[in-house]
Structure 1
Amino acid sequence: MVTPIAHRVRKRRDALRAAGLRPVQIWVPDTSRPGFAEECRRQSLLVAAADASDPELNALLDAALADLDDPAET
């Protein structure tokens, strides 16, 4: 027997599929896991070090920001 809630969920999913959408399952890190914050810090330090060793990165970012601020673009 299908419960009223299961019927509503099925109906909603069918409507979404009819609209051309499909369900996607996304796995994300468990932020409550021990060591999560430390791993974030470790990875961010690696990225910062890589950015600091790339002299062309700041020029690229500055150019991208300048494009966003260009009034002729709007």
Structure 2
Amino acid sequence: MGPEAAPEARRAGNRRKVREHRQRLRTQGMRPIQIWVPDVHAPEFAAEARRQCLLANASEEGAEIQAFIDLVYEWPDDEYSQ
């Protein structure tokens, strides 16, 4: 058995574990999906968020938009205040 065999055996073991895990989930009635979401760490995300906030604030409906945000926004103080 060469030096490449150990890493390949680990990869094969990992693939087997993942396959078994996915099969257990399927047995429970689950199915895999893939979703793509914005990268909140990207500078472009922050720039776009700022641009949209400025547009909302400058619009005629700015106060109404902010009132809606205040209405639906709930921050669990207990969980994050520590």
| 1-structure distance, mates of 2:37, 2:52 | 16
Shift of 1:33: 2.9
Equivalent residues in 2 for 1:1-74 (5 A)? 3-48=12-57, 49=59, 50=61, 52=63, 54=64
Unmatched runs of 5 consecutive residues or more in structure 1: 65-74
TM score, norm. by length of structure 1: 0.56
| 2-structure distance, mates of 1:33, 1:19 | 36
Deviations 1:8-29 (A, max 9, x none): 0000000000000011111011
Q: What is the alpha-carbon root mean square deviation over aligned residues?
A: 3.4
Unmatched runs of 5 consecutive residues or more in structure 2: 1-8, 73-82
Shift of 1:47: 4.3
1:26 counterpart letter in structure 2: I
How many residue pairs match? The answer is 60
TM score, norm. by length of structure 2: 0.51
| 2-structure distance, mates of 1:35, 1:5 | 36
